[in-house]
Structure 1
Amino acid sequence: MSYTSFALVGAGTVGYGIVAGLAAKNVPIVVLSRPGSKNLEELPAGAKSEVVDTTDTDAVAAIFKKHKVDVVLATLTTTANKAQYPLIDAAKAAGVKLFVPSEYGMPTEGQTEGILGEKNDVAAYAKKSGIPSLRVFAGGFVEYIPWLFTYTENKKINVVGEGDVAASYNAVADVIGFVVHVLTTLPPAELEDKIFRIEGDRKRPSEIAALLNTTIERVDKMPGELSELRTGLSIAFSSGAGSTGWDAVNKTEGTGDAAAGSANKLWPGHSWQTIKQVHNL
């Protein structure tokens, strides 16, 4: 095992799965939650919990020291990127060996604007602080495809503009399993300051439409709730940024270890789930 003790902040869908996966391997894992959080009531057996103001650097550092934490994982919502800064400060103070920021989406390396830019800034801050980081780019979650393309609104695959560019997709369980696997099997030298790009399936919107037995609907903005958010995501995916191999600086696909799915080899023997399998198509 590369590290022996973990801490996680943000036990949502991905976070809870990582906690469960580590606990199942009998790996020490402590979950930090703010006062009043209900997440602590649902933790799997073997996982420990601590209630703390996660903006209080000294208090968080004390917990990291108490549990002799080697690795801190953040699995926060995309609107809480800046909440990772005090966690990094606490990790630095406690001598944490690796910080895994809240990524698990489109590639953020080289991004300078919006949410993706905020995520890139977090990684830069960890590096400036002298804490090695591990970033995992997963593209889109397979389970969220109907939401992403607002299929639930009109039974069409809605795309802003003319875009029909291939993107990377991963099942939530595969993302969770990959993170747990690499953190518990790879040596630190293969994890520190690395970017892993995984890809369970790769499809264009037209190919997804065919799987769902529907058609493409080109729109100026996405219909339904959270239109602005989903419109922005559609524009990003149409630009090519939905691929885990996307190079935001050169606006092209990466090659070698920067290619989409290049990190799949780190989980030998694993069968990655496809869109067809997850949605029983």
Structure 2
Amino acid sequence: MSSKSAYKSFAVAGGGLVGLPVVNALAAKDVPVILLSRPGAAAKTVPSGVQVIQVDFNDAAAIAAVLKEHKVDVVLSTITTMAAAAQKPLVDAAKFAAVKLFVPSEFGLPSDGHTEGPLGDKAKIAAHLKSVGIPSTRIYTGTFIEFIPWLVDYSDGSTVKVVGKGETPVSFTSISDIAGFVAHVLTACPPSDLEDRILRLQGDRSTLNGLAPLFKTSVEHVDSLTGETGEFKRGLQIAMDLGAGSTGWDGAKKVEGTGSNAAGSGNALWPGHQWKSIKDVHNLHV
């Protein structure tokens, strides 16, 4: 671990699509890490040395006791977007336990400037962190590259289905790069790079229409998308059409940010890393 890092011990809340890769990436850095899991949650396969601790995510006192026992410096929340508001007890527990840094569950489209829906819930958690005085690092990743087929209702041989014009650039980042970035910056960067910062990642960038040639297919403009999450996907695509799919999007000013607020500006904190492209993740180079 770099001597620049002030953080020595980590707790990850939630062992799902982002949580487990983050746990694995931190464990690979040979730092103490625990995984907080809800009682009754499915068993998690974690690296040796990682302790899985079941705790009620609604019980701030119980969570705080665990954080104190393990001398946790950083809490990382990977709670699903649809349950973002449930992070409040985690924040309160982190305050009780004198945690040095809190990484809330952003890992998606920019939430600043939002007041409603799941992104509004994320923005409210950020405001709560500020109100209780815990430094935070918010990490915007755009859409997971792995989720592209789901987002556009694509399956082998089908079309890329787009609601709206599909001409606005969108940020995409792979889950493995997100996990690797989180582990790197938390163990190699000084607090000044992380405290009360928004880090905007971008592994690749494309319009929704531009996905079609990558997958060697055509665009089909539609009014709705399929499946139980069809309406959610439709909402995402509409937001992307307006610009909000870019990690550089300023939700308050409705413009693309520049400089340290530009899409992908956070990548600079992981110098020398080769970020995975859409073609890399979906094996589209042939």
| TM-score normalised per structure 2 | 0.95
Residue 276 and residue 153 in structure 1: after superposition, are their counterparts in 2 closer, same or farther (change >3 A)? closer
Deviations 1:228-277 (A, max 9, x none): 11111111111111100001111110000000000111101000111111
Residue 159 of structure 1 and its aligned partner are, at CA, apart by 1.3
Match of 1:76? 79
Alignment length (residue pairs) = 280
Q: Which runs of 5+ in 2 are unaligned?
A: none
SS of match in other structure, 1:151: coil
Match of 2:32? 28
Match of 1:97? 100
Match of 1:261? 264
Decide whether the 8 Å contact of 1:134 with 1:192 is kept in 2: yes
Match of 1:250? 253
Equivalent residue for 2:184, pick from 181, 184, 194: 181
Match of 2:164? 161
- Runs of 4+ deviating beyond 4 Å: none
Q: Distance in 1 between matches of 2:166 and 2:116?
A: 21
SS of match in other structure, 1:72: strand
Decide whether the 8 Å contact of 1:150 with 1:157 is kept in 2: yes
Flag the structure with higher helix content. Answer: 1
| TM-score normalised per structure 1 | 0.96
Match of 1:142? 145
Question: % of aligned pairs identical?
Answer: 53
Residue 154 of structure 1 and its aligned partner are, at CA, apart by 7.8
Equivalent residue for 2:210, pick from 203, 207, 210: 207
Q: Distance in 1 between matches of 2:227 and 2:24?
A: 34
Instruction: Please provide the CA RMSD for this pair.
Output: 1.3
| Aligned: 1:123 with 2:126 | yes
SS of match in other structure, 1:150: coil
| Aligned: 1:223 with 2:226 | yes
Q: Distance in 1 between matches of 2:245 and 2:257?
A: 13
Greater displacement, 46-55 / 173-182: 46-55
Match of 2:200? 197
Residue 206 of structure 1 and its aligned partner are, at CA, apart by 2.0
Residue 132 of structure 1 and its aligned partner are, at CA, apart by 0.7
Match of 1:6? 10
Decide whether the 8 Å contact of 1:26 with 1:46 is kept in 2: no
SS of match in other structure, 1:19: helix
Decide whether the 8 Å contact of 2:157 with 2:217 is kept in 1: no
Decide whether the 8 Å contact of 2:109 with 2:245 is kept in 1: yes
SS of match in other structure, 1:264: helix
Decide whether the 8 Å contact of 2:162 with 2:209 is kept in 1: no
Equivalent residue for 1:17, pick from 4, 7, 21: 21
Q: Which runs of 5+ in 1 are unaligned?
A: none
